[in-house]
Amino acid sequence: MSEDTIWKSATQLARELDAGEVSATDIAEHLIVRADATDDKIKAYLNRTDDRLRADAAASDERRAAGEARSRYDGVPVGYKDIFVTRGVTSTAASRILESWVPPYDATVVSRCTEGGLPMTGKTNLDEFAMGSSTENSGFFPSRNPWDLDKVPGGSSGGSAAAVAAGLVPWAWGTDTGGSVRQPASLSGIVGVNPTYGSISRYGLIAFASSLDRPGPLARTVEDAAALLQMAAGHDPLDSTSIPDEYPNLLDGIDGGIEGLRIGIVKEFVPTQEGVRQKIDEAYARLEKLGASLQEVSLPSFEHGISAYYLIAPAEASSNLARYDGVRYGRRAPGADIVAMTASSRDEGFGAEVKRRIMLGTYALSAGYYDAYYGKAQKVRTLIIQDLARAYADVDLIACPTTPTTAFALGEKTSDPLAMYLNDIFTVPVNLAGNAAISIPAGLAPEDGLPVGLQIVAKSLDEPTMFRAAYAFEQDLGFAGSPEGRPEL
């Protein structure tokens, strides 16, 4: 097996496994060697499960030898953002308050991938409780962007994005609450998907904001992202918000092209970095060349998306994180009585950004302020949904930048929360509306050589059309960028 195994897509590896050209054990060993050599610089993983990876890979080889592969991708390893609970493996949400918690069960996403035969490489780093856009809010250490180790990989799923981009794993799971899959995918030069809310189970997902959180795949190719999402999506009776309808086949017709598709270009979304604007304009021209018709759409309520999000999400976080009281599980600090013990446990266990959002949410929900803040934010959410519905009366998909800039420097925005929050200005409205969206590489910005992402937003449950457009764009662009060969790696 060649050394370029670490840069192959999951689908390529699956084909080689089918043909007997490679074994799952060989793939696992290559990834372990790669992680040994590079992850001390990138810090993508919070917890590598090398022994389990080897055991899972050996079991996969035995199944394939017996003709009993569980799926096409049996033996292709996967990583999980450490916000998915994993039976017998520490699950921390990158928070000191959960640093020693070992769950007794698997999240549905994990169990479905395990049923498909995917070995686990480990648990990846994130902003604590998925609250952040750079992975600098991790309770343990920041992750770094493989394209430039002085830059952030994005967040909150920055560890998963960095792991895929650096060749540590062919694909990985993240979660997207306001852009936390798409934004790191854009900054790290890979594909990231935010599926329709309710299309994939949140059971076993450590909650941040329950009406916004969604598991989503990060991968090197559009086909890989579709395949991983397909494996885990579909109704789950353990999640009360799970859509009961059958989930569409994402791979059927993915190569059908986009001739005749109507794509809306968002009037209000203009990147602040010149190189990003250039690549996004080139992306629009490419979509038109491929046969789509483009037209400008106006989504005026989107400019209020960040304001609404930072009332709704903290309000839900305030409620969800109330359970971390030092009594039932998690960190317990000493205290003279239960009030002192709870206060000390939460003070020691939560980081600054989590505390900030809990306080914002508690204030927004408090008596006398509920209608003025939380209630108005929910009305803005309704306006965003209505604006999207009007736009989709005239177009099939919407295209826009994923982020206003390329990856920013570590420490550049940590002292200015608003500047950090505004990095998600193009992604947050999609979560408020519940629609599906994907970020795909659109090339490298000329001024810094860092990746730029194009976001394609679909109607709810119209992921097949979204993937078809993303696949056509990806195949035509032929983006072969990866940080492979950069001296620091």
The residues annotated as belonging to the active site are 81, 156, 180
Cα 97 to Cα 345: distance, rounded to the nearest angstrom: 8
Nearest CA to 46 out of 111, 108, 118, 125 is that of 125
- Give the three-class secondary structure for 360: helix
Cα 78 to Cα 168: distance, rounded to the nearest angstrom: 10
Ordered strands of the 262-266 beta sheet: 45-48, 120-124, 78-81, 171-175, 215-219, 191-194, 436-444, 451-458, 397-401, 262-266, 293-297
Cα 268 to Cα 371: distance, rounded to the nearest angstrom: 28
CA 435, 249, 185: angle at the middle one, nearest 5? 50
Q: Is the dihedral of CA 184, 187, 189, 194 positive or negative?
A: positive
Strand partners, 297: 266
Is the link from the previous residue into 242 a cis peptide, with omega within 30 of 0?
no
Residues 6+ apart with CB under 8 A from 269: 302, 400, 401, 425, 426
- The CA-atom distances, in angstroms, between 319 and each of 315, 323, 324, 359, 380 are 7, 8, 10, 11, 21
What's the chain's Rg over C-alpha atoms? 21
Which DSSP state fits 454?
Answer: E
Terminal Cα-to-Cα distance of the chain (whole angstroms):
21
Structure tokens at 387: 């604006």
What's at 397, amino acid-wise? Answer: L
